[in-house]
Amino acid sequence: MVSDLQGLVQSAVDNGSVPGAVALVARGDAVEVAAAGTAELGGRTPMARDSIFRIASLTKSVASALALLLIEQGRIGHDDPIATWLPELAHPKVARTPDAPLDDVVPARRPITVADLLTSRAGWGFPDDFTWPAIGALFDKGSQQHGRDPQLVPAPDQWLKNLAEVPMVFQPGERWLYNTCSDILGALMARATDTPLPELMAELVFEPLGMTDTGFAVPAEQIARFTSGYAPGEHGLDLVDPREGQWSTLPAFPSGAGGLVSTVDDYHAFARTLLPGATGLLSEQSVREMTTDHLTAEQRAASRLFLEGQGWGSGGSVDIAPVEPWNVVGRYGWTGGTGTTAHVIPATGTVAVLMTQVAMTSPTPVPLQRDFWTYAARR
């Protein structure tokens, strides 16, 4: 285990795991940042502290914080049925059994609520078993491509119509399922406020926190700071998303599940507001709600593909057992499928953010992420 942060990210560059990486570990005002490698494979642009990354599912925490802020403002409520703003989802069907054919469905036993979305228990989403017909339909109808291909997803109105055609695999509140609830939540917030999600996030989150490099697209004048996107291939890393292209304009569907770009400093500005006693965004009650596990033991056990010694708060996981060296009870955060990870550790007041541009091939975190978590937990 490398003993310093610079050495940790440099070792990942040296062994070919990533072209480059930027990492930040902060406790209070003491902030340690390391950057290594380049913004593109074999390129000349050095990775820098202000490099911009596709943060993928780190977006989920931001979307949840925004929703809790709207709840504090009285604009939406925990127990409100989502059909108030999303009539397309007023009468969802549920697969009779999780592996049932698409036409073997029963009605939902109760309306889906905002709370169901916040805890990812609405009934749509990804389980441990991707072979179920409804999950295939979710990919086909929902166009779940936003982490890498945001421009391929239809606009919210059409996306919701498509989703309404997909059976839920569990009844509302019955089971934790990954990803889709955050996209529904983003669409709901835009409808509830009559404001496009990019504008709403900018007004209520990014601008107050000084997150000047975070959004759903990269401005033309900043594209040189954007990193190219890669995925592991048969003979090394394959370029799957060049820096110039689809991230230069806003997508039709701004994804609350995985649509943002950001920098380590911007995400640190957000994440530190989730520490106990922090100010600047949410009330202490909302922070506790966001960073407290809401799942039952049965729900956690059914989701081990995604959760390792963890439960789920809102928009991120919560460590509940020290099963690995990096697990710290109460640690909150998540990973992004494009190669990012960010957590807060309330017990030590730590914020840890790691950004790379190499996509994960499964929900299982890669060695660099695990090494970084272990480093942050020891600080």
- For the stretch 307-363, pLDDT in tens is 888 999 999 999 999 889 999 999 999 999 999 999 999 999 999 999 999 999 988
- Quick one: pLDDT band at residue 6, thresholds 50, 70, 90? very high
Q: What is the mean pLDDT of residues 259-281?
A: 95
Q: Quick: pLDDT tens for 161-202.
A: 999 999 999 999 999 999 999 999 999 999 999 999 999 999
Q: What is the mean pLDDT of residues 289-307?
A: 93
Both structure tokens of 133:
């017909």
User: Which residues lie below 8 Å from residue 29, measured CB to CB, with a gap of 6+?
Assistant: none
Q: What was the pLDDT predicted at 112?
A: 98
Q: What was the pLDDT predicted at 373?
A: 96
Q: What was the pLDDT predicted at 147?
A: 62
Q: Quick: pLDDT tens for 75-98.
A: 999 999 999 999 999 999 999 999
User: Which residues lie below 8 Å from residue 355, measured CB to CB, with a gap of 6+?
Assistant: 21, 22, 23, 51, 53, 55, 262, 263, 264, 267, 339, 340
pTM: 0.96
Q: What is the mean pLDDT of residues 21-26?
A: 98
β-bridge partners, 37:
20
Both structure tokens of 23:
């990492």
Can you give the residue ranges of every domain in the chain? 5-66+196-378, 78-193
Q: What was the pLDDT predicted at 363?
A: 87
More confident residue, 67 or 144: 67
- Quick one: pLDDT band at residue 364, thresholds 50, 70, 90? confident
Q: What is the mean pLDDT of residues 150-155?
A: 90
How large is the angle between the packed helices 156-164 and 133-142, nearest 10 degrees?
160
Q: What was the pLDDT predicted at 142?
A: 62
- Residue 3 pLDDT > 80: no
In 295-364, the DSSP E strands lie at 310-312, 317-319, 332-336, 340-345, 350-356
Q: What is the CATH number of domain 5-66+196-378?
A: 3.40.710.10
Q: What was the pLDDT predicted at 143?
A: 54
Q: What is the mean pLDDT of residues 116-122?
A: 98
The per-residue pLDDT of the chain, averaged, comes to 94
Low-confidence winner among 33-47, 49-63, 134-148, 247-261 (lowest mean pLDDT): 134-148
Q: How far apart are CA 72 and CA 161, in angstroms?
A: 29
Q: Phi and psi dihedrals of 118, rounded to 5?
A: -60, -30
What's the gap between Cα 178 and its chain centre? 10
Q: What was the pLDDT predicted at 309?
A: 84
Q: Phi and psi dihedrals of 121, rounded to 5?
A: -130, 35
- Residue 264 pLDDT > 80: yes
Q: What was the pLDDT predicted at 139?
A: 87
Q: What was the pLDDT predicted at 2?
A: 65
> Of the candidates 144, 117, 147, which has an alpha carbon nearest to the alpha carbon of residue 57?
147
Q: What was the pLDDT predicted at 146?
A: 59
Q: What was the pLDDT predicted at 144?
A: 58
Percentages of the chain per state (helix, strand, coil), in multiples of 5: 35, 20, 45
> Of the candidates 270, 322, 259, 299, which has an alpha carbon nearest to the alpha carbon of residue 120?
299
